[in-house]
Amino acid sequence: MRKLKNFSRFILTVVLLAAITACSIRGPAQRTAKQVFVLQGTPASSEHLKAADQSGCSLRVSTPSSASGFNTARMAYSTEPNQLDYFAYHEWAAPPAKMIAELMETRLDASGLFKFIISGSPGVRADLRLDSHLQSLQQDFRADTSSVNLTLKISLIEVGTRNLVDSRSFSYWETAKSANAQAGVAAANHAVEQFIIDLSEFLETSLTKAACSDAY
Q: What distance in Å separates the CA atoms of residue 190 and residue 145, rounded to the nearest whole number?
A: 17
pLDDT at position 9, please?
53
158 or 9, higher pLDDT: 158
The β-bridge partners of 155 are 131, 167
48 or 32, higher pLDDT: 32
79 or 122, higher pLDDT: 79
Per-residue model confidence as pLDDT tens digits over 178-195: 999 999 999 999 999 999
Dihedral over Cα of 130, 94, 140, 148: its sign: positive
Q: What distance in Å separates the CA atoms of residue 95 and residue 65, rounded to the nearest whole number?
A: 10
* DSSP-H helix ranges across 74-113: 96-111
pLDDT at position 214, please?
63
Q: Are 77 and 69 in contact (CB under 8 A)?
A: no
pLDDT at position 50, please?
56
CA distances from residue 212 to 53, 104, 130, 201, 206 in whole angstroms, order as listed: 14, 20, 14, 18, 12
The β-bridge partners of 170 are 152
Q: What is the mean pLDDT of residues 31-42?
A: 88
Q: What is the mean pLDDT of residues 43-62?
A: 72
Q: What is the mean pLDDT of residues 4-15?
A: 47
Domains of the chain: 36-209 (3.40.50.10610)
Q: Are 130 and 63 in contact (CB under 8 A)?
A: no
pTM: 0.81
82 or 51, higher pLDDT: 82
pLDDT of residue 170 exceeding 70: yes
The β-bridge partners of 60 are 118, 129
Q: What distance in Å separates the CA atoms of residue 135 and residue 114, rounded to the nearest whole number?
A: 26
Confidence of residue 14 (pLDDT cuts 50, 70, 90): very low
